[in-house]
Amino acid sequence: MKRTYLLSTILATALSTQAQAQDLVINELMQSNVECIMDDIKEFPDSWVELYNPTDAAINLKDYSISNKDKAKKAYKLPNQVIPAGGYVIIYCDKEEKGLHTNFRLESGKDGKLYLFKGETIIDKLEGMAKMPAPDVAYGRKTDGSDEWGYQVTATPGATNCGAVTNNILGTPVFSRNGFVTSEDAAFQLELSLPEGAPEGAYIMYTTNGSEPMPSDATEVHPKTISITINKTTVVRAKVCCDGWLSPMSSAQSYVFHPREMTIPVFSIQTNDKYLNDAEIGLFANNNSKEDKKTHDWRRPMNIEFFPAEGEESAFNQLGELRIQGGQSRGNALKSLALYANKRFDPDHKQFQYEFFPDQKPGVKKFKSFSLRDGGNDFGDLYFRDAIIQRTMASHTDLDWQACRSAVVYINGQYMGMLNIRERSNADNIYSNYNGLEDVDVVEISHEKVNGVDQFIEEIKEGTGDFYENFKTFYSQTGHTKAEYEEWIDVDEYLSVMVMNLFYGNIDFPGNNFVLWRPNEDDTESGLAKRFRVIVKDTDFGLGLYGRANDYNTIDLLYHPSNYPNDNWAFTEPATRLIKNMLSNQELKNMFIDKCCVFMGDFMNAEGTGEIIDLIKDEAMEEFVAHRNKYNSWGDNRNDINNKFENAKKWLAGYTESGWWGETTVHASRTDNFLNHLSSQYNLGTAFPVTINKNVTDMPKTVAVNNIQLSSGIFDGKLFPNRQLTITATAPEGKIVKGWKVVTTPNSGSSKTKEYEGNTLALTPTACKSMTIKTILADATGIEEIENSSLHNTYSALYDLQGRKITKPQAGQIYIQNGKKVVIK
């Protein structure tokens, strides 16, 4: 039940105003500014402080500083600006750290502090401030410079205080029905009523255009109960007001009449239309090119609701902020959005709490922010290239990545189309996926063209750049070992990321869209070490975007970027120095080549990627057609969408193309082309087909090829000759790995079959026509199982089946002990 509340008395302490009558004083502040004031850079500052000059002489701010800590040396120095006698100045507490913008925010919870210094001396202060009662509520002196403090009935930043303070705060209006999404004709009467305990004279204000109800707007004002006919998509924001009382921000409910069956979730966002479309301050109106990111990367207040399924109430409904996201994609007809939660909007909703991706990241359900993405460079084409590539890789190997799920988006009741719910590629991704981890360094590498020259931009997003600068010094030198690289970066994950981008043809990396992060302390719970990992992002250029054929040689681009003058912006020397120096080490080069070959024979191929393509297509298809009808109103969009998904599959699988005169051209698969590129660069010879456990019913529990575990124990790809091949397997319960059956078909002559004992197969295959390998399993009956940990208590030595003494036995392997066969658990 909604109620009206009386706040407890504020227990903040302040210096005596009379003692400070000859100097500046803190006069008013707001702990959470949602949309009370906009600052000089067209942003809504997180919080603000008003200083008042009670004297009869002008005062220059340059002698003053301000802080939320009581140490003058750490206080923010105010700029060279004069406040006239009896005048005011607003200090923006938003961490912008420039001019009147401080390096701190005001605490919106309890026990907030604020200190004003002149030189080294505290001349005014507030301590023990209470938790804010609601956003956009100011706390200040009852009249300018007076001793009495309280919550201002009306905030007056930059003007004389209103003369009325109160501890009384109103409740929120009662909606007779919560919001929903329906595809049926479900018209009804919505009733809005006052909460229990509302004072005499209380009334309700509401809007249906998405804006916050305010007396200055042409907003309908009603006492008691209001009835609204809802027969089309309508967003209602309503609040209770009463003279002499504080009003919290409005409550919002969305009633969405979706014109077709709801097949994917729905977002409803409400905000003032001018925050989107105004020529001076609107996000949409001022973000139409990559250059706008530098000057118009604003945030705007909003309310957001998320509906997982038709007929269900919203999973969350809360205040937040939104901004336009992306670079070149700002020119798209539908913009990508970043959406933020924060305790200063609502202490009970510090994050968006919902498990958006249960099939991809089960249990991940706390998000400080997330994105609604428009496909980036892929907006007018397949729309899902980045999601397909990331999900394919992350389903099979260890990556930090951005999960994806499609959703319908309404803004102020208007259908905007389909955007993809995505995790962020910054510290918020780490927070969500690593149990709230926040003490991190984050570095983002991006590309910018300055005076026609490609620039390598390195930006410290979180923490310090000390470790990164030392890492650069390290990898700028050759001759390092794999173990030495491992001290600085997760080599396994980094090489997987490089393999992914090169195979799928994403040329917008590593000199762009490259995010490195590290925890500042070892985390024993997650196994994280204080070294860099990569967060994958924006692989939109992959899978043949802009017509790049599947024989595009990204390996050659890596080593010879000057041969590709139109495509080498992300392959400058500083951008590729790390990977090229790393691959100058033979062990790491072998690891890189192994990853390429094993991934392609496992999942990084037409079949493995095709499974993800079909999953995404099936989920999004119906809404994707409607979305394309909105932004591409000509042609058969369903057929066009199907063709784009099929083209992605063809790029992977290869295809046959017919010419004008009946001639045919056969295009090889991406895997075959990529193998040729690797062979050419590293002189590897001709790769030959190899299968492991293909068409086998009695499967081992796990199989690893050169220490790379296969997804399902099956390999169907190609390997290069004269390279070490080590395959290990573990058996399911009740079985043991007895050995291996290897059938080799030479380039000429008949096939040869050979069996090997043990759970590890080690070969160096020479060039051949093909090789088939199968794991031989046997029942564990009659073979004693021994715990590895108990071997130190056993005095009888272990021998392998060839009679060699073994000092380091492996799990699943059969040995001889006291003349009997045993298997290590």
Query: Across the strands, what pairs with 49?
Result: 29, 91
Mean pLDDT of 755-769: 96
> Residues 581-625: pLDDT tens digits?
999 999 999 999 999 999 999 999 999 999 999 999 999 999 999
pLDDT at 231 over 60: yes
The contacts of residue 282 (CB under 8 Å, 6+ apart) are 274, 275, 276
Burial class (CB in 10 A: 0-12, 13-18, 19+), 182: middle
- Specify burial of residue 782 (Cβ count, 10 A radius: 0-12, 13-18, 19+): exposed
Q: CA-CA distance, 752 to 692, in Å (whole number)?
A: 16
Here the tokens at position 312 are 């269900």
Per-residue pLDDT at 818: 76
Q: What is the pLDDT of residue 214?
A: 83
**Is residue 780 scored above 90 in pLDDT?**
no
Residues 784-819 pLDDT 10s:
777 765 555 555 788 877 777 887 787 767 788 876
In the numeric block, the tokens 């990977």 are attached to: 579
The alpha carbon torsion through 752, 753, 755, 760 (nearest 10 deg) reads: 70
Crossing angle for the helix pair 586-602 and 573-583, nearest 10 degrees? 90
Confidence of residue 6 (pLDDT cuts 50, 70, 90): very low
Instruction: Measure Cα distances from 103 to 75, 91, 456, 549 in Å.
Output: 9, 11, 28, 50
For residue 18, the model assigns a pLDDT of: 42
- Is the pLDDT at 20 greater than 80? The verdict is no
**Helix and strand tally (H, E) in the chain?**
13, 52
Residue 760 vs residues 149, 703, 798: alpha-carbon distances, Å:
78, 10, 17
What's the token pair of residue 230? 């809802």
Q: What residues pair up with 82 in beta bridges, in sequence order?
A: 60
- What is this structure's pTM? 0.91
Q: φ and ψ at 296, to 5 degrees?
A: -125, 35
Phi, psi of 607 (to 5 degrees): -70, -50
* Residue 718 in tokens: 């190609």
The predicted pLDDT at position 16 comes to: 43
Q: Average pLDDT of the chain?
A: 93
| Percent above pLDDT 90 for the chain | 81
DSSP H helical segments within 177-315, as ranges?
A: 274-277, 292-295
Q: Rounded distance, CA 679 to CA 688, Å?
A: 12
Assigned token pair, 276: 């989107």
What is the predicted pLDDT for the residue at 136? 96
d(CA 72, CA 49): 18
Six-digit token string for 254: 């969305």
User: Is the per-residue pLDDT at 10 higher than 80?
Assistant: no
The Cα–Cα gap between 775 and 746 comes to 21
pLDDT score, position 222: 67
Question: Quick check: 527 pLDDT over 90?
Answer: no
Distance in angstroms (rounded) separating the CA atoms of residues 499 and 566: 22
pLDDT digits (tens, 9 = 90+) for 248-292: 999 999 999 999 999 999 999 999 999 999 999 999 999 888 777
- Residues with Cβ within 8 Å of 466's Cβ and at least 6 positions away in sequence, in order, are none
% of residues, the chain, pLDDT over 70:
95
Give dist(CA 68, CA 112) in Å, integer.
Answer: 8
pLDDT (average), residues 345-355 = 93
- Residue 4's pLDDT is 47
Mean pLDDT over 448-470 rounds to: 91
Other CB atoms within a 10 A radius of the CB of residue 380 amount to 13
Question: In Å, what is the CA distance from 316 to each residue of 96, 249, 306, 319, 352?
Answer: 30, 16, 6, 10, 7
Q: How far, in Å, CA of 823 to CA of 825, rounded?
A: 6
Q: Which helix (H) or strand (E) holds 554?
A: helix 554-559
- Taken in order of first residue, the domains within the chain and their CATH numbers are 5-168 (2.60.40.1260), 174-421 (no CATH), 435-599 (no CATH), 685-779 (2.60.40), 784-824 (no CATH)
Write b or e for each residue in 712-740: b if 16 or more Cβ atoms lie within 10 A of its Cβ, otherwise e: ebbbbbbbbeebebebbbbbeeebbbbbb
The answer to whether the CB of 125 falls within 8 A of the CB of 14 is: yes
The Cα–Cα gap between 132 and 579 comes to 50
Q: Judging by beta carbons within 10 Å of its beta carbon (0-12, 13-18, 19+), is residue 101 exposed, middle or buried?
A: buried
Convert the pLDDT of each residue in 283-299 to its tens digit. Answer: 999 988 877 777 888 99
Give residue-wise pLDDT tens across range 680-730.
999 999 999 999 999 999 999 999 999 999 999 999 999 999 999 999 999
In this prediction, residue 391 carries a pLDDT of: 99
| 768 against 297, higher pLDDT | 768
Residue 674 has pLDDT above 70, yes or no: yes
> The tokens of 815 are what?
């040995």
Using alpha carbons, select from 651, 652, 641 the residue that is nearest to residue 382: 641
Give the CA distances from residue 788 to residues 291, 347, 460, 791, 802, in Å, rounded to whole numbers and listed in that order.
Answer: 62, 52, 47, 6, 20
pLDDT number for residue 662: 77
Structure tokens belonging to residue 123:
């001349």
Identify the pLDDT of residue 15: 52
Q: How far, CA to CA in Å, does 315 sit from each of 109, 266, 341, 370, 664?
A: 25, 11, 15, 15, 54
Which residue is associated with the tokens 């072998």? 590
The residue among 172, 304, 303 whose CA lies nearest residue 247 is 172
**Per-residue pLDDT reduced to its tens digit, 58-97:** 999 999 999 999 999 999 999 999 999 999 999 999 999 9
Residues 6 or more apart whose CB falls under 8 angstroms from that of 655 comprise 667
Dump pLDDT digits (tens) for 159-198.
999 999 999 999 999 999 999 999 998 899 999 999 999 9
Q: What pLDDT score was predicted for residue 438?
A: 96
The 10s digit of each residue's pLDDT in 298-319 is: 999 999 999 999 999 999 999 9
pLDDT tens-digit series, residues 370-423: 999 999 999 999 999 999 999 999 999 999 999 999 999 999 999 999 999 999
The structure tokens listed for 265 are 């979730």
For residues 439-468, give the mean pLDDT: 92
